[in-house]
Amino acid sequence: MNIQEPKIIELPKILDERGNLSFIEQNNHVPFKIKRVYWIYDVPGGESRGAHGYRENEEFVVALSGSFDVLIDNGKEKKSFHLNRSYYGLYVPKNTWRMMDNFSTNSLALVLSSTDYDINDYIFDYDNFIKGVDR
């Protein structure tokens, strides 16, 4: 698995008349060991969050419910991913600027992270990130 590029990963889907089931295994469907899990919910429709980068942290983002866009910028190239199915996840490499945008009402964003929460791992200055001063 190429772990330098953002990438949509399709998760297993066990179809069942009683309701479908998907799952995620570390080092299998996500290319890292999962250290932390958080989720973003009760986001007002159309709202944005998470405009920053991480120096070391890698992420895997799933729209468990509803939809939102994840905008990715590695300093050379920008990409936008629309997440709207609970069996697709977006892998976000380290050293990537990312923003979550256009949340639908009642959406639920699940984020798996490769590191513990550490404010010092955040990259907040987009201009410095783009200039390569801070990345």
The catalytic residue positions are: 52
Please state the length of the chain.
135
What dihedral angle (degrees, nearest 10) is formed by the CA atoms of 38, 40, 41, 42?
Answer: 140
Residue 56 interacting with ligand TYD (CB under 6 A)? no
- Please give the Cα distance from 128 to 135 (Å, whole number): 8
Q: What is the DSSP letter of 133?
A: S
Residue 124 interacting with ligand TYD (CB under 6 A)? no
For residue 49, give the amino acid letter: R
Site string for ligand TYD, 70-99 (x = CB under 6 A): ------------------------------
Candidates 3-11, 47-55, 82-90, 125-133; binding stretch for ligand TYD (CB under 6 A): 47-55
The partner residues of 36 in beta bridges, in order of sequence, read 113
By CB under 6 A, the count of residues binding ligand TYD is: 6
Q: How far is the CB of 50 from ligand TYD (least distance, A)?
A: 4
List phi, psi (to 5°) of 40.
Answer: -120, 125
Q: What is the DSSP letter of 128?
A: H
Q: Report the residue number whose CB is nearest to ligand TYD.
A: 49
Residue 49 interacting with ligand TYD (CB under 6 A)? yes
- Please give the Cα distance from 44 to 34 (Å, whole number): 28
Residue 69 interacting with ligand TYD (CB under 6 A)? no
Binding site for ligand TYD (CB under 6 A): 36, 38, 49-50, 52, 117
